[in-house]
Amino acid sequence: MSDPAFIYTIYIRAPIDKVWAAITDNKTHRSWWWGTHHDSDFKPGSKLTYLRNGEADVEGEILEADPPNRLVHTFRVGGPGPQHDEGYTNVEYTLELTDGVTKLTVTHTGFVANSKLRVGISNGWPAILSSLKSVLETGDPLASTQPDEKK
């Protein structure tokens, strides 16, 4: 039996296109996600890598892209370790415009039983998405979402 899906919804006072652009930005380092940089063109079948400090932080493949409403990709923690060894999971971003506010729902699925990744993302996604909200609404990421640099 696998661990349950993780679902997180956040409302961001920003246009849906701006939220989509932040999620799919492959030109700058994303301050809201620990300074990672995307390496992908976000087209179905394309590889996706989140680079942090020159190393693969997350690896995957784009499964679906329907700008600016939906993005689905596989997700595997980069480098050696128990979370990497759990293999690929799936992440789905769903964006909806609701009364001038963007409703962003992230659904992360496909965890193995007793998943260490599921435990990690249960803390990670809320911090990352709150930082995204902060960047889009104020221009500044949340400092609490910045982990110590890899040694």
Q: Does residue 1 lie in a domain region?
A: no
Find tokens 């971003």 and name the residue. 93
pLDDT in tens, 139-148: 888 875 445 4
What CATH number has the domain bearing residue 17? 3.30.530.20
Q: Are 39 and 28 in contact (CB under 8 A)?
A: no
Helix (H) or strand (E) holding 75: strand 70-77
Q: Does residue 86 lie in a domain region?
A: yes
pLDDT in tens, 61-104: 999 999 999 999 999 998 778 888 999 999 999 999 988 899 99
pTM to 2 decimal places:
0.89
Q: Does residue 146 lie in a domain region?
A: no
Tokens of residue 44, six digits: 């179905």
- Residue span of the structural domain in which 122 resides: 6-138
Between 38 and 148, name the one with better pLDDT.
38
DSSP state of 114: T
